[in-house]
Amino acid sequence: MRRILPTSLTGQIALLVALALFVAQAINFALILRERRQSQYLQVTAPTITRMVDAAERLRDGRFRNPPEARNQRDGARGRLRLEQANPIPAGLPRRSDVENGIRQGLREANLTVGSIVTGVKRIDPSDARFARMNVLRAERMKRLGAELLVAVEIPGRGWLTLTAGWPRGDGDLIWRLIAQTLILYIAVLIPVLWVGARVGRPLRKLAGAARDFHPSTPATPIEERGPGDVRAVIAAYNLMSRRVTAMLDEKDQMLGAIGHDLRTPLAALRVRIESVEDDEDRARMADTIDEMNKTLDDILSLARLGRPSESPTETDLSALIDAVVADFHDLGQPVDYEEGERLILRVRPALMRRAVRNLIENAVKYGGGAEVALKQDAASVRIEVADRGPGIPAEQIAAVFDPFTRLDASRNRSTGGVGLGLTLARAIVREAGGDISLGNRDGGGLCAVISLPRG
């Protein structure tokens, strides 16, 4: 059902108005049809019943005179009431049970006993020869009605009392007129409704697109305030909000820069001072602590600034990028194997992507003793796989390791260094590039981290 119903504001308004018009026209049609049938009863059915009851009473009292043959033709044009020896109504004509019941009820109230009552509605041919002998006004009325009602009442022992009266052709013409009226009404109402809906919906669609495409790394372009007053107010509020968000992000970047500067200065001073420590082991431990603090500070600032990186996306050879990262680990004597793939160009931020790959390899080396790196691709995506043969991660805790400052004490301890921001930062970088990172335990032990990036 949801697929059938329109989803746009204009479509829903138009559908609501169309349904309201349909219900109103249906009620109008029912009222008009009821009024027409009441009018038909008063103008045709009731006089027919009255005349037939009156003729039956006169026939009972011996006052009814059947017109002679010479007057019969005039009767066909005037009175149309006579006594026949047999039922003159052809079989197969549509019958009117309401007229039959009305005549029977009237005759019963007049204490008259009759036999069968038969009615039939017969269409009138406009070229019928009778019209030439009729009064002009009556002939036009009969042609306009388009049909005649034939009534035959059986009078036991006397014959059939017959009557012919004009009869409306049916409700078909009324239905077609109402359909035409409904179409005109729909055109007159729905066109302005659609125009108003489009006038409201167009700026709302632009607003939705601007909100969907909003990115903190690019300046927000104000949306033109168009449409009704309420819509213009919403657009103005969005423009104001986007300016405030941009200003807050600028202020945040300035604050982060100041924090980074203020924290690195004392760390650098501490690094200088520890050179005066005589104990080599203590001096090395202090240096490692300062290096870890610097790395943690870099991770925190990088994660906080990720939404507005200063680096622009460029066409980058991922195979060469991974090879350079692996080479850095080889220089440090780390066991990292890289299964080189073919040259693969992708539009990414190279420094950030290099950092994401480095974080995954660093985790594999720290917690698995080494890393196996591979670059794979298919028609839809590119995958960078970093695998190790370490203890792996319990399946129920895989999602939690991406949370900031999360470490799994069962397999990872403080001696390995880090504060639990490596995977968080790597996933944020990859998602900013339109991809994602997934973790999975390997058969035979170990963990495999996969960076998936869309092609194109």
Name which of 439, 451, 364, 444 is nearest 395 in CA terms: 439
Is residue 28 in a domain?
Answer: yes
**314 pairs with which residues across the strands?**
348
Q: What is the DSSP letter of 418?
A: -
Query: How are beta strands 371-377 and 436-441 bridged, if at all?
Result: unpaired
Whether residue 337 is contained in a domain is answered as yes
Q: For the whole prediction, is pTM greater than 0.75?
A: no
What are all long-range contacts of 406-414, with beta carbons under 8 Å and residues at least 24 apart?
A: 411/367, 412/366, 412/367
Query: For residue 186, is it within any domain?
Result: no
pLDDT confidence of residue 413: 46
Q: Cβ distance 236 to 225 under 8 Å?
A: yes
Give the lowest-confidence range in 161-165, 226-230, 310-314: 310-314
Instruction: State which of 278, 308, 338 marks the end of a domain.
Output: 308
- Asked whether the predicted pLDDT for residue 32 surpasses 60, the reply is yes
The reply to whether 179 falls in a domain is: no
User: What was the pLDDT predicted at 374?
Assistant: 92
> Are both 347 and 239 inside the same structural domain?
no
Inter-residue contact 316 to 346 (CB < 8 Å): yes
Q: How much of the chain is helix, strand and coil, in % rounded to 5?
A: 55, 15, 30
Number of independent structural domains in the chain: 3
> Quick check: is 371 in a domain?
yes
88 and 145 together in one domain: yes
Residues 322, 431, single domain; the answer is yes
Per the CB < 8 A criterion, the answer to whether 305 and 253 are in contact is yes
Average pLDDT over residues 312-327: 90
Distance CA 68, CA 79 (A): 13
Is there a single domain that holds both residue 374 and residue 303? no
Confidence of residue 337 (pLDDT cuts 50, 70, 90): very high
Mean pLDDT of 18-46: 79
380 and 244 fall within a common domain: no
- The verdict on residue 399 lying in a domain is yes
Confidence at residue 232, expressed as pLDDT on a 0 to 100 scale: 87
Strand partners, 447: 441
Can you give the pLDDT at residue 78?
A: 40
Task: Give the whole-number percent of the chain exceeding pLDDT 70.
Answer: 83
Q: Mark whether 316 and 301 lie in a shared domain.
A: no
d(CA 1, CA 20): 19
Q: Which residue has the tokens 């014959």?
A: 159
Model confidence over 346-369: pLDDT tens digits? 988 888 888 889 989 988 998 888
Residue 241 resides in a domain: yes
CATH number at residue 323: 3.30.565.10
Structural domain contains residue 343: yes
Q: Indicate whether 217 pLDDT > 80.
A: no
Largest Cα–Cα distance of the chain, in whole Å? 151
Cα angle for residues 451, 454, 455 (degrees, 5° grid):
125
Q: Does residue 319 sit in the same domain as residue 304?
A: no
Claim to verify: residue 271 and residue 341 sit in the same structural domain: no
pLDDT in tens, 115-173: 888 888 888 777 666 666 667 676 766 666 677 788 898 888 888 888 887 777 666 66
Confidence of residue 305 (pLDDT cuts 50, 70, 90): low
Residues 297 and 319 in one domain: no
Cβ contacts of 255 within 8 Å, gap of 6 or more: none
Q: Do 32 and 178 contact (CB within 8 A), yes or no?
A: yes
* CA pair distance 417, 395, nearest whole angstrom: 23
- What is the pLDDT at residue 68? 54
Containing domain of residue 38, as a range?
11-174
Q: Are residues 41 and 145 in the same domain?
A: yes
* 320 lies in the same domain as 435: yes
Asked whether the beta carbons of 99 and 149 are under 8 A apart, the reply is: yes
